Amino acid sequence: MRKSRTKIYQSWRHVLFTLFIVILPFLALLFFSRIAVISNTELFLAVLTSFSRLIVAYSIAVVLAWISATLFYRGRRAIVALPIFDVLQSFPTFAALPLATYWWGRSDLTVIIFLVMTVIWPIFFSIVSSLKLIKRDWEEAAEIAGLKGAGYIRSFLWPVSIPGLVTGSIIGLGEGWEALVATEIIVGIKTGLGNFFQIFVDNPTVTALGILGLLILIFSINKLLWLPLLEWGHHRMEE
């Protein structure tokens, strides 16, 4: 029997709409640069710098969250570890940011560490929720197939955790974008979007347009990347 495949583009209108979503953030940035009287190169470099920090922090958070979730999602370890993780999730990370800035300085390291602390928890708890939905007959099928070690992780745990990973990524990165700008401003780092928002703090029009442009960028990334991945993950689970 041939496996059904998810059709990405349903029509030419869907293709044109996708192209529009791709172009929209660039148009917003160009419009913002004209209003704020900033060079396009300088603005795109600031966006790229902040985006790079978030991607590095997200990559670290995903690895740590997935390993922790697979280790502590059930059994006695879960009884002990999950309440501790829940308390850590509630810790106000921004309260410790001035102290971290004193230790590590006004650097990318400080920003990335605090972004990891922000992004990791939605991803971790979403993966845990996905793993807790594992049915006993699925585990029995994995045992019958002789899945062990790396094969068990690659062919069983990883596919089952994908919906939680994608859902947690959508939530975590949404919080990450918000924390990114705030952290850059508090740390006082002189590159990135935080510096731009700080420069134009007394100009409500430019600030509002900058926030709108950031929201458009987040919307485009979610629409082009995370929502299709979420649909793909649920499709894999149904198979």
Owner of token pair 């690659």: 154
The pLDDT tens digits for 137-166 are: 556 556 665 666 666 677 677 878 888 888
Tell me which residue of 184, 48, 169 sits closest to 119, measured CA to CA: 169
Measured in residues, the chain has a length of 239
> pLDDT tens digits, residue range 9-26?
555 665 666 666 667 767
For residue 68, what pLDDT band results from cuts at 50, 70 and 90? very high
Handedness of CA 138, 143, 144, 147 (dihedral sign): positive
Among candidates 217, 215, 175, 181, which has minimal Cα distance to 199? 181
CA dihedral 186, 190, 196, 197 (to 10 degrees): 10
Q: Which of 66, 67, 57 is nearest to 114 (CA)?
A: 57
**In this structure, which topology does domain 39-238 adopt according to CATH?**
MetI-like fold (1.10.3720)
The string of pLDDT tens digits covering residues 40-58 is 677 778 888 888 999 999 9
Alpha helix locations (H) across 5-157?
12-36, 40-72, 75-90, 97-104, 108-132, 136-144, 149-152
pTM metric for this prediction:
0.78
